[in-house]
Amino acid sequence: MTTHLTANPWSTGTDELERYALEECVKRQRIDHRVSILVVSDKRCEMAPKLARLGAQVVIVDRPDYRQEIEGRILASGLREQISYVASELDTMPEALPGQPFDMIVLRRGLCGQPYEQACQIVRRLMRQLRIGGKLYVSVLGLHSELGQGYADGDALIEQRFAPLASPLAEKYEIHQPVCLYTERNLFMLLLEAGASVLRTLTTTYGNVKGIAVRV
């Protein structure tokens, strides 16, 4: 398989967690040249082409109503042989996906749309879909970000935390469904409860929370 390298694929438009994922892809590609990656929630097809250009085989899972946009962007990328799309909601993803078990899974968004217990179940399933030594990269919305302003469940325990954003922020970010907002410690504990070995958590400048875990 031909490896399509770019000089610096994370130089623009890439957050810190995605930079870690791209760097990991490069390392794994150098070793076995058959890196398989699942990207969950990539409506604008931003992450998958970056990984595919590094030589990975990438599966995108995202909502069925995004099919036309995602498939159009895959076609436009010129990487149809390396990127495939599975139409599914996060909480109803198939247990078996093409390319499984994956070397890496990047969960870009959507976990906060689930109550904490359901989020734990989703992460447990994702860990089963990784090979031993595979890594999970997770992004969640932060309780101490702008989104936490006026959030009704801000003082609730994480297990009971699931409420709509304050109306002005719901309108601003077009997030109208209830969400569970996380602290860095909340995400750390979620990954542990899901059976993962946590390698790193971090909080961004904007207050959102990221985590990297490995299946052991």
Domains of the chain: 16-214 (3.40.50.150)
Separation of alpha carbons 153 and 164, rounded Å: 9
With contact defined as beta carbons under 8 Å apart, do 166 and 150 qualify? yes
The confidence score (pLDDT) of residue 14 equals 54
Please list the rounded mean pLDDT of every run of 10 residues in the chain (216 residues): 33 71 94 90 89 96 94 94 95 92 96 97 97 97 97 97 97 96 98 97 94 97
The confidence score (pLDDT) of residue 1 equals 34
- Pairing outcome for strands 209-214 and 130-140: antiparallel
pLDDT tens per residue across span 73-125: 999 999 999 999 999 999 999 989 999 999 999 999 999 999 999 999 999 99
Q: What residue ranges in 79-184 does DSSP mark as E strands?
A: 83-87, 102-107, 130-140
